[in-house]
Structures are given as C-alpha cells and as structure tokens.
Amino acid sequence: MASSSNPEIARVFFPSYPMFQLYKDGRAERLRQIVTVPPSDDPKTGVRSKDAPVPPLSSARIFLPKTSDPTAKLPLLIYIHGGAFCIESPFSPTYHNYLTSLVAKANVIAVSVQYRKAPEHNLPAAYDDAWDAINWIASHIERNGPEPWLNENADFDKVFLAGDSAGANIAHNMIMKSAGDDQIRLKFSGLLLMNPFFMNDEPDELISFIFPSSKGPNDPRLNPACIASKELAAGLVCKRILICVAEKDFLRERGVSYYETVKKSGWNGVIEMVEIEGEVHVFYLFKPDCEKAAELMDRVSSFLNL
C-alpha cells in the first residue's frame, strides 16, 4: 500500500502489525527492532541454555533442565518458533523465556531452532534450515555428535517436534518430509502444533510475496487439506498429535480444519485438540503468568511425558 507521506513506499506488511515495508525500487525495510538475550543459567528454574551452530546456515539454542542425575536421558523436544516466517528467533526474550519455563515444567531437553527469515530469505529457506537442524540433531544418535548435552542427555526414543503459528507449519512439514527420507534416523513420538498457521482456500497476500514459488492454497506445504488422505496418513510418522487452538485466534479455523483432516485421513495414531476459551493467537507467549497459560503449559507438559 502506498503512503501519501512517503511515495516511495509501495506496501507495508501489515499496517495492523508492521513487520516490514517494501519500497517501489524493490528494497525491503524491517520495521521491528530485533531484541535478543544471551543463553544463561536461569536462577529461578535451574534450566541451563547454550547456543550451537547448525551447519550450514543456521543455529539453535539448547535448554537443559536441572536434574539430580547428570546422566539421565530426557525426552527431546525440537521446537520451531513462530513469527509469520518473518520475525522472532530462539534468542528473543519471548521464546527464551517460554522454552525455559516449558523445559523446567516438562523436564525435557529442548533444541529451539533458528531459521532464515523473509523477506531477505523467502520460503522455502525456513523449511530447508529446519531440515538441516533435524539432521544435525540426528547426528547425535550414536552419542558422538558435536553437542555434548545431546550426546549425554537426549532420549532418542522419545523425540517430539513442536512449533507455534508459522513454526507449527514448519514442524508439520518436517514430519512429512522425514517420512520420505530413508536417511533420517530420528523417530518421532509426537507432534505438537500450537495455534498453527495453515492456508485455507483464500489467497494470502504475505504468502504470495514471501513464497513466490508456492502454489498458494493448493500447495501441500501450506494447506494439508489438499493432500490425499492416504498420503497424509502415511506422512505423519509419529504416534500422537496435539493441536492447541484459541477461541479468538484469527487462525482458529485453520487448526480445527487440520484436526478434522487428519481424523478423516485414516491415520492410525492418536490426535487430540484442546481449545482455550476467550484467548487470542499465542496468548501464552505474551501472558505467561495468566491462569489459562498455566493450564495450557500443564497440558503440553503432560503430552511430552506420556
């Protein structure tokens, strides 16, 4: 959209929540400040965190809970953050604090995955980076990978893939991709989708811009409803799926549709959906101390420990 005060601006994504703007000469300018916090030993929970490079182009933040047994093998959570494929990171205060709390509550070791963002790096770059991260994590299965915490503490018989919003979309796609790759050695116990982003039949202005090679609503990476039931059922190579939606989330119906699509597909796992009444998109990230966020944290923790 053009601005009368600055005629060089062609479009803003989005005026209601500005992430970046495009100029008529093709330049893109970010509109939100990037804020990060360093890894740390959290004095309240005892959770430790550290950063690690993920070849060839990415990185991750790893979280280890306080435990009385340093050799204990813990469920492994691979978490992919949201942010419309454009903003946020594992190193932001929002996601650092959320993963710290979740790791402490669920007593899991977590790898929070960084990926390249649009508009500098359009999709499918985020999918590629997430897949590289999963392969990097899998390199620790024989206990001789580059990251000691994964070698020593990850239970590779209990691996969960999770994400919120756009990150939930990426998590779903990583499960599907692993089904068709005989080289990946990770076996997934569960898939956790928090307020997931999927397309419906309507055009999406942002997706059209940041994923120009996609087929839009007919792209199976964006809209699982367009995948043949047999293919979807075969691709979900995990035992359980938990979908979390919020009553006032603008993406609520997308999550419900995913739940119904999987239920009808003939998939032989267990899928559940929990809906939080009266709440909006990813409310638990911005109101972590509210009662409903605590209830959702309990539900997620239970899922990771079944």
Question: pLDDT at residue 6 above 90?
Answer: no
Give the confidence band of 233 by pLDDT, cuts at 50, 70, 90.
very high
Average per-residue pLDDT in the chain? 95
Burial class, 194, CB count within 10 angstroms (exposed 0-12 / middle 13-18 / buried 19+): buried
Cis bond upstream, residue 63 (ω within 30): no
Q: What is the mean pLDDT of residues 21-30?
A: 93
CA dihedral of 258, 194, 306, 160, whole degrees rounded to 10: 90
Residue 3: per-residue pLDDT = 43
Give the Cα separation of 87 and 89 in Å (integer).
7
* CB-CB neighbours of 75 under 10 Å: 21
Give the β-pairing of 188-194 and 154-164.
Answer: parallel
Contact 186, 179 (CB under 8 A): no
Helices (H) and strands (E) in the chain, counts: 9, 11
Residue 183: per-residue pLDDT = 83
Range list for CATH 3.40.50.1820 in the chain: 40-304
Residue 200: per-residue pLDDT = 87
- Helical H segments across the chain, by residue range: 93-106, 125-138, 148-153, 166-179, 205-210, 229-235, 252-264, 283-286, 291-303
Asked about 265 being catalytic, the answer comes back as no
Catalytic-labelled residue, pool 165, 178, 189, 265: 165
Which numeric CATH code is attached to 40-304? 3.40.50.1820
pLDDT digits (tens, 9 = 90+) for 132-142: 999 999 999 99
Asked whether the CA dihedral 132, 134, 137, 140 is positive or negative, the reply is: negative
- Backbone φ and ψ of 46, nearest 5°: 80, 0
Question: pLDDT at residue 1 above 60?
Answer: no
pLDDT digits (tens, 9 = 90+) for 46-94: 999 999 999 999 999 999 999 989 889 999 999 999 999 999 999 999 9
Token representation of residue 162: 């999770």
Q: What is the mean pLDDT of residues 221-246?
A: 96
Per-residue DSSP letters for 99-159?
HHHHHHHHT-EEEEEP---TTTS-TTHHHHHHHHHHHHHHTTTTS-SS-HHHHHHEEEEEE
Residue 244: per-residue pLDDT = 98
